[in-house]
Structure 1
Amino acid sequence: MSAAAKRVAASSLNWAKVGEKLTSVHASDLGRLRGQNSTFTAQVDQLPADLPKVDFAALKKALPTHAATIDSLQKQYEAVKIPYGEVPKEYLDEIKQWQEYNETRIRLHEMKVADGLEQAKKVEAKWKSAPPVEHFDRQHFAEYFPQHFYDLRYQERIPDPCSIGLNETDAFQQRFSDYKVLRRPDKVDDH
């Protein structure tokens, strides 16, 4: 194995762990990414660890008039150092922020799932205690379907037979809470 391949192998990705964290929707994307990584790794394996050696002395003999230029090129070529695995700090900070954002999203999703499970348990408990639908009477409809059937004896609702949304806000209850509000001042209260 070449030195370049050893460097890449030292920082290889655990594909099984990544596959566990992704949903089945992203399986094709993970397969495509894994294929691209394999192609890249194969190309890196074929490359030598260091830059190829150039015989600058032979070049100077072949091109004596350009000796100064070849000297300059030799200094530049030998000064080239390509570090491996150094990611700029601003990119690392951006990755860290992205990870924190995704972890927060995951925690929020887990909280929503837990709340949904609690609500589902309440609904299941409600319907387990319900009598069979064939035995429902008017009181049961108001208890189990309060959005469609209401009992004005204990619910502060306005009859809304056309379902136009009178009970979605409390504007009607506030406006008509005092029955004297709409009386005209010239009317005399004589009864």
Structure 2
Amino acid sequence: MAARRITQSSINWSALAERVPASQKSSFGAFKTRSDIYVRAVLANPESPPKIDWAYYKRLIPVAGLVDSFQKQYDGLSVPYPKDSVSKLVDAEIEESQCEISNYKKASEQRIQNYQKEIAHLKALLPYDQMTMEDYRDAFPDTALDPINKPTFWPHTPEEQVGYKSKEQLEAEAHGHH
């Protein structure tokens, strides 16, 4: 399998540079420089090895069959192009990432819709400075004080209520410690 010669970088350096954080610009510049040096070094070499004039060496070397032996070995020499065993893995990772991105976008769109509903609900409420305790209770039943159905002690925080247990206490009970 003959490999095609790469004549230029297929990397869009300007698009890649836009994504590099400011703190890593110097490292990115060094990486690009090394890449450019490598591409120039590869391009400085000919695409194929130079042709050998075997007839010249047959006339010059008196040992019979030596040049023929070298020619046979040289012509039989084949440097295999490395097999690509990584592209499939990279493609699978890209596909997995695309799936994760798609799922994240869907979840984000759902969150945005929920937040927009919350914003619409808040905009529909009376301003807080005009709201009575009853208006607040109607708008926020979970957080409003309800002295009849759910009486609480001042300062009405969860930590000050009867039966409150801290996270540490709940974890200790879950592990069997009392």
Same fold (TM over 0.5): yes
1:19-168 matches, within 5 Å, as 19=15, 23=19, 25=21, 28=25, 33-53=31-51, 74-82=71-79, 87-88=83-84, 90-149=85-144, 151=146, 161-163=157-159, 164=164
Give the letter aligned to residue 44 of structure 1.
V
1:130 and 1:24 map into 2 onto residues whose CA distance is 44
Superposed CA offset, 1:108-142 (max 9, x none) = 12112212221221122122112112122223433
1:107 and 1:50 map into 2 onto residues whose CA distance is 46
1:123 and 1:111 map into 2 onto residues whose CA distance is 19
Secondary structure in 1 matching 2:129: helix
Q: Sequence identity, in percent? A: 19
User: Would the alpha carbon gap of residues 53 and 39 (structure 1) be closer, same or farther in structure 2, given more than 3 Å must change?
Assistant: same
CA-CA distance at 1:79 after TM superposition: 2.8
2:147 and 2:68 map into 1 onto residues whose CA distance is 99
Superposed CA offset, 1:18-62 (max 9, x none) = 827x74549847655544432222111111111245567787899
User: Would the alpha carbon gap of residues 50 and 39 (structure 1) be closer, same or farther in structure 2, given more than 3 Å must change?
Assistant: same
| Paired positions, count | 154
1:139 and 1:87 map into 2 onto residues whose CA distance is 74
Instruction: Tell me the TM-score normalised to structure 1 length.
Output: 0.55
Query: Unmatched 5+ residue regions in structure 1?
Result: 167-191
Hey, what does 1:189 align to over in structure 2? none
Q: Are the equivalent residues in 2 in contact too, given 1:19–1:30 (CA < 8 A)?
A: no
Secondary structure in 1 matching 2:5: helix
Instruction: Tell me the TM-score normalised to structure 2 length.
Output: 0.58
User: Would the alpha carbon gap of residues 145 and 83 (structure 1) be closer, same or farther in structure 2, given more than 3 Å must change?
Assistant: farther
CA-CA distance at 1:107 after TM superposition: 0.5
Hey, what does 1:15 align to over in structure 2? 12
User: Would the alpha carbon gap of residues 151 and 45 (structure 1) be closer, same or farther in structure 2, given more than 3 Å must change?
Assistant: same
Query: Unmatched 5+ residue regions in structure 2?
Result: 167-178
Deviates more, 1:114-123 or 1:23-32: 23-32
1:152 and 1:81 map into 2 onto residues whose CA distance is 90
